[in-house]
């Protein structure tokens, strides 16, 4: 009876010890790995376990150099940096990538925060440059998509997912990470020759393209920040354009007469002042104009002629000596409180004459 009890006690003891014996080899293996020299890790084939790390279209060059080029202490609980990395991002990445390109005046927050893997997969990706997503969809992971899509007109680079064509993804000397200042940046796509050797609109020459155009999207044509003429009132005095009688061309939009960017004619006109007016008022050149009944020839549209020696030259506006005599000598091209858009106070056409023809 005693021997049977001893047998039961011994068997129970062995059963309790059995799991420990079963785990003992695993314990020894873990212990060996912990103290395994770094050189031995270099000989291990990580792909046997981590097969998914190099299966996509683009593979990080560092994998060709060996996993240990980034992971110097893999599978060690007490490693200084997560996942056995030799350093934390972005310092780890600077081991291969030129730090100067990532530390300019303005740094993209993910870079500054060491979140390189917030945009790039560190091992493999189906997208170029190991990006986690393609095109602008990557940017929408942080930036609100509503600010870049959904409106009537979307800027072509945004619609085409070409955010880096305007913005540096890492760092830049320009504000908002722009690759260059305006208008130089805009000339990357828009024909610069249209702006050269001409009189240039102040917002263009001042690099203020976005004072008139939205950079990403808008509901107005050409991405304008407002419709005409309201947009122009941001700089030009609205009172000069909203008097009692307003020129129809103003209501049609300022670009009816003015080029919004540049032109060889003053005031950004496509033609001379009189030539521009005759585009709509062609009958003025054919019929008596200023003093009907006095002359069949009509008003001198080519300007007030002054005889100087043998030459006949176009004279200046008698009432405004610094201006050339033209349609705008008598008519305000924008708005007026007088009839027929007369520049000066007048109730009849004859009232205008005394402004030049002094008695």
pLDDT of 101 reads: 95
Residue 175 contacts residue 167 (beta carbons within 8 Å) = no
pLDDT at 288 over 80: no
pLDDT the model gives residue 282: 84
Rounded to whole angstroms, the Cα distance separating 304 from 291 reads 15
End-to-end CA separation in angstroms for the chain: 151
Distance CA 249, CA 334 (A): 8
- Buried residues in 222-250 as b, exposed as e (16+ CB within 10 A): ebbeeebbebbbeeeeeeebeeeebbebb
- What's the pLDDT tens digit per position in 303-349? 555 555 555 455 678 888 888 888 898 999 999 999 999 999 988 88
pLDDT digits (tens, 9 = 90+) for 53-76: 888 999 999 988 888 899 988 888
Residue found under tokens 């990080």: 60
Is it the case that residue 15 has pLDDT exceeding 50? no
pLDDT category, 23, cuts 50, 70, 90?
Answer: low
Model confidence pLDDT, tens digit, residues 215-261: 999 999 999 999 999 999 999 999 999 999 999 999 999 999 999 99
Beta partners for residue 217, in sequence order: 154
Closest CA to 213 of 161, 204, 264, 151: 204
The structural domains of the chain, with segments of one domain joined by +, span: 50-132, 144-225, 229-353
What is the pLDDT at residue 11?
Answer: 47
**Cis omega (within 30 of 0) for bond into 183:** yes
Of 195, 197, 193, residue with least CA distance to 209: 195
pLDDT at 307: 56
Sign of CA dihedral 260, 262, 263, 267: positive
pLDDT of residue 168: 96
Instruction: Please tell me the predicted confidence (pLDDT) of residue 320.
Output: 86
Q: Which of 20-29, 181-190, 276-285, 310-319 is the least confident region?
A: 20-29
Q: What is the pLDDT of residues 173-212, one digit of tens each?
A: 999 999 999 999 999 999 998 888 889 999 999 999 999 9
pLDDT value at 294 more than 50:
no
Residue 40 has pLDDT above 60, yes or no: no
DSSP 99-138: GGGG-SSEE-HHHHTT-GGGTB-SSEESSGGGBSS-HHHH
For the cut 60, the answer to whether the pLDDT of residue 132 exceeds it is yes
Q: What is the mean pLDDT of residues 141-157?
A: 94
pLDDT at residue 259, rounded to an integer: 95
Confidence of residue 293 (pLDDT cuts 50, 70, 90): very low
């Amino acid at each position: 009876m005693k021997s049977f009890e001893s047998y039961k006690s011994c068997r129970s003891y062995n059963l309790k010890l059995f799991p420990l014996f079963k785990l003992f080899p695993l314990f020894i293996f873990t212990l060996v790995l912990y103290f395994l020299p770094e050189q031995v890790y270099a000989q291990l084939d990580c792909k046997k376990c981590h097969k998914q790390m190099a299966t996509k279209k683009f593979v990080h060059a560092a994998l060709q150099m060996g996993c240990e080029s980034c992971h110097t202490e893999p599978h060690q609980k007490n490693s200084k940096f997560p996942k056995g990395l030799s350093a934390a991002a972005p310092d780890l990445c600077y081991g291969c990538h030129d730090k100067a390109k990532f530390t300019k005046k303005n740094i993209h927050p993910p870079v500054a925060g060491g979140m390189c893997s917030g945009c790039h997969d560190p091992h493999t990706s189906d997208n170029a440059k190991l990006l986690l997503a393609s095109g602008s969809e990557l940017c929408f992971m942080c930036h609100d998509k509503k600010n870049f899509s959904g409106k009537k007109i979307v800027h072509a680079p945004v619609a085409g997912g070409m955010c880096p064509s305007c913005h540096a993804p890492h760092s830049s000397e320009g504000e908002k990470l722009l690759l260059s200042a305006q208008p130089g940046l805009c000339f990357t796509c828009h024909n610069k020759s249209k702006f050269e050797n001409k009189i240039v609109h102040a917002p263009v020459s001042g690099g203020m393209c976005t004072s008139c155009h939205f950079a990403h999207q808008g509901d107005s044509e050409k991405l304008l920040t407002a419709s005409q003429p309201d947009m122009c009132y941001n700089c030009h005095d609205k009172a000069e354009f909203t008097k009692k009688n307003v020129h129809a061309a103003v209501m049609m939009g300022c670009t009816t007469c003015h080029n919004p960017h540049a032109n060889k004619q003053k005031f950004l006109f496509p033609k001379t002042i009189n030539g521009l007016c005759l585009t709509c008022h062609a009958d003025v050149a054919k019929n008596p104009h200023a003093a009907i009944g006095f002359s069949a020839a009509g008003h001198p549209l080519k300007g007030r002629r002054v005889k100087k020696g043998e030459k006949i030259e176009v004279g200046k506006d008698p009432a405004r000596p610094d201006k050339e005599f033209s349609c705008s000598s008598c008519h305000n091209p924008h708005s007026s409180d007088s009839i027929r858009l007369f520049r000066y106070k007048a109730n009849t056409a004859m009232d205008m004459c005394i402004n030049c023809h002094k008695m």
